Structure 1
C-alpha cells in the first residue's frame, strides 16, 4: 500500500501520527493497530515521516493571481481589531506605535521618494482591514506626500512646542482601518538635525517589520539608485501557508496541551489600583524608560551564560520578581508577546506584516526558591509552551473566557523581549533613535526590553489612570536595581528572590512601626476610675433611653 494512502486510511480511523526527533510517533484506539498495520507502518516509516514533516512545515507558494484578494486576519490581528472597541475593558484604543528617528541632515524630496518606493515594495503598506475580519492589499494607491515642519531658526521654546504638537497628533492615533493609509510619516527640521516622525497601526506591521523598514529607508537615502532584493512572496502568501499548519496533527497536539492546562492557569497579576478607582475614560499611554549600561549588561549576560540561562529569561525572571513584590498573589499568568516568524520560506525575514503571537506563561509561587532556580523554572515552562505555539495565546484566553468569564480572561500585564533580535543599522548609519511609545488594547502595562551596543533598553508603556501615582516609577526602579544587583553580585543569584521596597515605603513602614515608648504603670481600668473620681458629674454614656454620669 502506498505511504500516502496508508497515512490517509489510518487518520480516517482515528490514528494520530506525528514526527518527533526523527521518530514516527502515534496514538491509536486500543486494538486498532494490529500486527499487519504495524508492519505496514515499519515498512513505510521514512515515506510517512517525510509526508508528515511536509504537512507540518509547508512551503510558501507565491500566488500573484490572488494578490489583491481578501485574506483572513491572524488571531492577534483579530484581537487588535475587536479590542479597539469601547465596549471592551481597556478598549477604545488601537494597537499602535510611534517613533522618532533623527539624522544630521535629510533631503525631504529623497525621503518622500524613498518612502513611496517602500510603499510599492511592501504589500502591507498598502493594506486595509475590513471590520468583518479580513484584510486586502490595494492594487494601487496615491503618491504619499511628506508633511514637513521647518523649525530652523526657531527658539528652543518654539521648537519644543511644535514637536509636542506633532506628538499629540501622531503618537496615539486611532486609524479607521478600512481607509488607506494605516500609517503616517512627517518630517521636522531644526538647526540640530532633521527628524522623521513615524506613526503606524500594528495591524499592518510588527516591531521587527518597522525595524526592517527603517533600515531599507536609510539604504535608499544613502543611495537613491540602490536596488533592493526582489521579494518573491507576500505576507498573504506566508499567512495562508501558516494557516495550513492548523490542519495538521501538530495543531491538535498543541490544542490538547493547552486545554489540559487551562483550569490550572492563574489570573493576571493583581497590582494596586488607585483609591479613587480607575479612570480610563480618556485612553492615554505614557512611556517610562530606563537603561542598563553596556558594562553591567555585558556582566549580566556573562553571569546568565555561566548558569545556562539566556539573557531574555534572566530579564523575564527579574520582571516576574518585581511583579510578585507588588501583586496580591505571587502566582499569576503573564502575557508574553512573541515575534513569531516561522521559517517557511527563505524570504520570511524580509517581509513586512504582523507576525506577532502571544503566549500565557504560568508563574508559580517561588516558595523560597533562589533566583537561579526560579529563572530555570520559568525558562523550562516557557520552552515547553513554545513547543505548542500553534494553539495561540489568544485561543487560550478565549477558552478561559468561555469557562470562567470575560474578566478572568483579561491578561493586561505584558512582557515583550527583543533581546538579541535587533535588526541593526549599518555601522555607517548616522540615525539616532528618539522619543517613542506604543499602545495596545486590553493592556495596562507592557514591559519592553531590547539590547544593542549601548546596553539594555527598558521601556514600560503604561495606560494612564489604572495605577496609583508613583507606582510604576517605584516598580521600574526596583526592576532595574534587581538587574544591576544580578550583574554585580554573584551571591544575588543564589538567594531567595526578594525585590526590595522603595526607600520611601521603607521609611514610612519604619515610622509606622516605631511604637517604642515607656510602659505605663497600673492596671488598664485605673485611668477610668481616676476620671470618675475627678469628674463624677461628667457624661459617660448616652443612649436612646437617656444618659449616665
Structure 2
C-alpha cells in the first residue's frame, strides 16, 4: 500500500499490536505443537529501503523485483513471527508499505482486525491497551471440545457422508498438478459498486439468502459453466470464535476452520431455488463444523487410496458479516491505497475471497495460471462478474435455469463456428449408398479381420431384407427391431430398414431378455432382423440376415409421401433414471450431419472408418452413413474382441484406418495401447470425439505423433475435433458444434 508515515511510530504501534495478540507471536514445531514467543524478538522489524536517489524508472524496476520476490515468499513456520513488514521510500512524502502474513497466525477477519488495531495504535500512541485473548486459552478450549457431544455428532455426520461426497470441480487443466515445478498465484478481482452490491443483497434477502450464501451459489454456478460438473465439492472456511474471552471478537489469530460444502447444479430448478438448497446444505454442514474439513479430507484419503483422490483444491471464503460493521476490507486501506495483493495456499488451485470494502463488493480470485488452460481464469472472472451484475439488475434473472456467461470474444468465436447455414441435402438415408453401390459394386464396403463385403454384395443383401420387410407390410415411420450382435449384418439391417422406408430400432443381443422385450414392445415392433437366431415368443416376424441370399434382389421403390422428415431410427436411453425412453431422429437430421462432416473433413472413397462404436449408440450412425454415402469402407472389430484395444490397433494397421469416431475414453485406450506397443496407426488422419467430456490433455497427446514440424512419426495429416454433446436445434447444416484443436 502507498502512503506517507512516520516509520518509528509505525514500528512502535506494530510492536503494541503484536505484544497484545499472542497468536502473532506463534511458531509451529515439527511435532505439531504450537509455541508462543515473548519479548521484542517476537515482533517483526520494519525493513527500510530508501530509493529517493533513484529515477522513477529505476524505482519501478526495483519495485517489480521486490514484488516478484515478496509476493510468494514462504516464512519458516518454526520461526516467529510469521509476519513481515518492509517500507520502500520513494520520495519525501511517498512510501510503499509491504506486509506479508501467514494464514497460520491470521485468518481473513483477523487480517481486517490487525490493520484496524495497528492503525488505531498508530493514530493514538498513548491509548490504553486492552487485555486480549491469550491464544493458548483458545486452543485449550478447542481441545476440550473434541470429546463433547457436538464433536461426536459432527464426526458421525461426516463419516457417514464420506463415501458419497462429490469430488472437486472438474475444470479443464492445461497440465497435471504434479508436473508443476513451482506454483505462482495471480489475482483477479470481481467488484460491484455500492449501488449494485446493495441491490444484490436486497434481492438475496428477499429470497432468504445471506450475502455469503448467494456469492457461494453464484461462484458454483460460474464454475459449472466452465466445466466443473453438475455436482462437486468446494472448500470453505467458517469462523470459530467460542465465548472464551470478553474480547474474543476483537482477537487476532487463526480462528477459522475449513468446511467442505457440496454444490449441485440442478438445471431443472431456477437459480434462486438452487441457491436456497445450497444455503440449506451449508447451514447443515456448519451445524456439524466440529469435525473440520481437514479431518474429513484425512478420512477421504484413507477411503479413496491417497491424498490425490481426496483433495479439494477449489476454495471459497467470505469475510462478510462480522459482528462489527467497522470490520471489513476497508481496513486494508486505512494506511493508504492498496496497490497490490495476492494470496497463496498449499494444495489450492483457485481461491475466492469475498469482502466488503468502502461499501463495494470485492471478490479476489487467486489462481495458478500455469495449471489452467490459457485465458480460462480471466474468462471465469468475467463470467462471475456478469452473473452477479445480472442478479443485481434483473429480478427475473433469479428464475433463470441457466446463464450465458461467456465473454464477448468467446461468444463471437462460437457464433462463427456455428454459423453453418447452407442449403440442406434433399437425399433420404440410403440413397447415396445405393448410388455408390451401382457405380462401384466391387469396392469394399465392410472390412473385418477375415472378411470383405463389397458394395454390390451389401446392396444385394440389404435389398433382399428390404423386400422382405415390404412383404410384411412395414410402412413409413414403423420401427423395425434389429436384434443383433456386432457384425456386418448390423449394417445390412440398418440399410435394409431405411431403404424399405421404415425406421430401425437397434437392440443389443447381449442385453437381458426382459430389456429386449421391453424395447421391442414399447416400440410396437412387428418385424425383427437378426443375426443371432432370435425368435419371438409372440407374434413378431423375424428374418435371419445370416442366411444365404439367392438370386438378384431389386430395391423396392420409395413409399408414397416419403420425405426427409420421416423417422430414421430410435435409440433407447439407458434407463438409469427410470424407464428407458426412445429418442427419435429423422432422415433430415442425419443427412444434415453426414453432408456437413463430409465437406468439412474431406471424406472420400479412400477413407477407412473404424466402426468401434456399438450400433445402439448414436455415434455409429455417422460411421455407417458417413462412410457408405462417400464410397468409403467400414472396418469392424470382431464381436468377441470389440473392447480390445490391441485388436483395434491390428485392424488400423491392416486396413490403414484413417477416420476414428468415438467417445474420448475409447480414443484414450487406443492411444495408450499405441504408446505401449510403440505402434502408432500410420493412416489415422481424423479423430472425432463426442458423447462425453474431452480430456484437455488428450489432443496434446495425440499431437505428439503429428507429422508437422515438431511431430514424432511420419503420418498423414491429423486433426482432432470435439463434437460436443447432443446439439441444440439450429438452422441449416451441422447440428453439432465442432471446436478444432488447431486449424486444418
Moved more, 379-388 or 416-425: 416-425
- Change over 3 Å in CA distance of 1:378–1:161 after alignment to 2: same
Which segments of 5 or more consecutive residues in structure 1 lack a partner in the other structure?
1-100, 533-538
Q: Is the 8 A contact 2:137 2:244 kept in 1?
A: no
Q: Is the 8 A contact 2:44 2:85 kept in 1?
A: no
Deviation at 1:389, TM superposition (A): 0.7
**Equivalent position of 2:59 in the other structure:** 159
In the alignment, what sits opposite 2:314? 413
CA contact (8 A) 2:234 2:263 kept: yes
Q: Please tell me whether the aligned partners of residues 358 and 393 of structure 1 are also in contact (alpha carbons under 8 angstroms).
A: yes
Equivalent residues of 1:280, 1:464 under 8 A apart: no
SS at structure 1 position matched to 2:146: helix
CA drift of 1:530 comes to 8.4
Q: Does 1:323 align with 2:223?
A: yes
* Mapped partners of 2:175, 2:20: distance in 1: 51
Partner of 2:422: 517
What are the within-5 Å matches in structure 2 for residues 218-367 of structure 1?
218-231=119-132, 233-274=133-174, 279-367=179-267
Shift of 1:361: 0.8
Give me the TM-score of the superposition, normalised by structure 2: 0.55
Deviation at 1:351, TM superposition (A): 2.2
Contact 1:130–1:178 (CA<8 Å) still a contact in 2?
A: yes
| CA distance, structure 1, for counterparts of residue 77 and residue 423 of structure 2 | 71
Distance in 2 of aligned mates of 1:416 and 1:541: 54
The residue that corresponds to 1:102 in the other structure is 2
Question: By how many angstroms is 1:527 displaced?
Answer: 8.2
Distance (whole Å) between structure 1 residues aligned to residue 274 and residue 340 of structure 2: 34
**2:45 is the alignment partner of 1:145:** yes
Tell me, yes or no, if structure 1 residue 508 matches structure 2 residue 413. Answer: yes
- Residue 217 (structure 1) aligns with: 118
Q: Which protein is bigger by CA-based radius of gyration?
A: 2
Question: Could you tell me how far apart the structure 1 residues matched to 2:205 and 2:389 are?
Answer: 16
1:178 aligns to 2:83 (yes or no):
no
Distance 1:499 1:363, change over 3 A: farther
1:488 aligns with 2:388: no
Alpha carbons 1:285, 1:464 under 8 Å: kept: yes
Q: Report if aligned partners of 1:318, 1:479 keep a CA contact under 8 Å in 2.
A: yes
- Pair 362,453 (structure 1): closer, same or farther in 2 beyond 3 Å: same
Structure 1 distance, partners of 2:349, 2:177, is 15
Q: Does 1:434 align with 2:339?
A: yes
8 A Cα contact 1:238 1:348, kept in partner: no
Distance 1:427 1:133 in 2: 31
TM-fit CA distance, 1:359: 0.8
Alpha-carbon distance in structure 2 between the residues aligned to 1:529 and 1:247: 84
Judged with a 3 Å threshold, the aligned counterparts in structure 2 of structure 1 residues 493 and 344 are, in CA distance, closer, same or farther, namely same
| Change in 2 beyond 3 A, CA 1:488/1:278 | farther
Structure 2 regions of 5+ residues with no counterpart?
442-604, 609-652, 656-744
Q: Evaluate the alpha carbon distance shift between residue 275 and residue 345 of structure 1 in structure 2; reply closer, same or farther with a 3 A threshold.
A: closer
Tell me how far apart the structure 1 counterparts of residues 332 and 223 of structure 2 sit (CA, whole Å): 37
Distance 1:530 1:403, change over 3 A: same
SS of residue in 2 equivalent to 1:407 = coil
> How far apart are the structure 1 equivalents of 2:311 and 2:39?
39
Write the distance in 2 (CA, Å) between the matches of 1:270 and 1:426.
35
Judged with a 3 Å threshold, the aligned counterparts in structure 2 of structure 1 residues 499 and 348 are, in CA distance, closer, same or farther, namely farther
How far apart are 1:265 and its partner, in Å? 1.0
What does residue 126 of structure 1 align with? 25
Within a 5 Å distance, the mapping from 1:468-487 to structure 2 comes to 468-487=373-392
Which residue number in structure 2 is paired with residue 115 of structure 1?
A: 14
Once the two structures are overlaid, the 10-residue window that deviates more, 172-181 or 128-137, is 172-181
CA contact (8 A) 2:103 2:254 kept: yes
- 1:108–1:510 CA distance, 2 compared to 1 (3 A): same
C-alpha distance in 2 between matches for 1:426 and 1:459: 16
1:393 to 2:293 alignment: yes
Following the alignment from structure 1 to structure 2, what is the Cα–Cα distance between the partners of residues 122 and 500? Answer: 44
Please tell me the root mean square deviation across aligned C-alpha atoms, in Å: 2.9
Alpha-carbon distance in 1 for matches of 2:158, 2:221? 25
8 Å CA contact 1:258–1:391 kept in 2: the answer is yes
1:321/1:499 contact within 8 Å kept: no
8 Å Cα contact 1:322/1:479 also seen in 2: yes
2:357 paired with 1:452: yes
Going from structure 1 to structure 2, the CA distance change for 1:499 and 1:279 (only over 3 Å counts) comes to farther
Contact in 2 for aligned 1:296/1:484 (Cα 8 Å): yes
1:338 is displaced (CA, Å) by: 2.1
Distance 1:515 1:124, change over 3 A: same
1:371 is matched with which residue? 271
Q: Distance in 2 between matches of 1:391 and 1:408?
A: 20
Distance 1:395 1:241 in 2: 18
